[in-house]
Amino acid sequence: METATIHVTEKAATKIQELLAKEGVPPETGGLRVGVQGGGCSGLTYAMRLDTQARDRDRVIEENGARLFVDPKSYLYAVVAAAVRSRRNAGLLLRGQSRRFISK
């Protein structure tokens, strides 16, 4: 049963597009890879990195002009990608079912 739906906010999409351009990743095929791995205090560790293309089994989420690549297992846990800026942090936020991960 599929329960997860991932959303990309407008601010996050803008930040992803900026990062792709800065790193020279082609916007036609590239995107942000998000994943969930075992480990960490909650039992899960979130990871994000730029990638030049999707893999065969990836879910590709396109919203607000940005593309996320998510492997099938991680898709069950990720919920929202958002850009955040505060006095202490700035970056992308991945909200899961019970945790948040900020990538500067």
Burial of residue 39 (CB within 10 Å: 0-12, 13-18, 19+) is: exposed
What is the DSSP secondary structure assignment for residue 97, as one 8-state letter?
A: S
Cα 50 to Cα 38: distance, rounded to the nearest angstrom: 21
Model confidence pTM above 0.85: no
- pLDDT tens-digit map of 48-101: 899 999 999 998 989 889 998 988 887 776 654 555 555 555 566 565 554 444
Q: Which pLDDT belongs to residue 1?
A: 34
Q: What are the chain's domains?
A: 7-103 (2.60.300.12)
Do 27 and 62 form a contact (C-beta atoms < 8 A)? Answer: no
Q: Are strands 66-70 and 31-38 parallel, antiparallel or unpaired?
A: parallel
Cα 49 to Cα 71: distance, rounded to the nearest angstrom: 13
- pLDDT tens-digit map of 24-52: 999 999 999 988 777 766 666 778 899 99
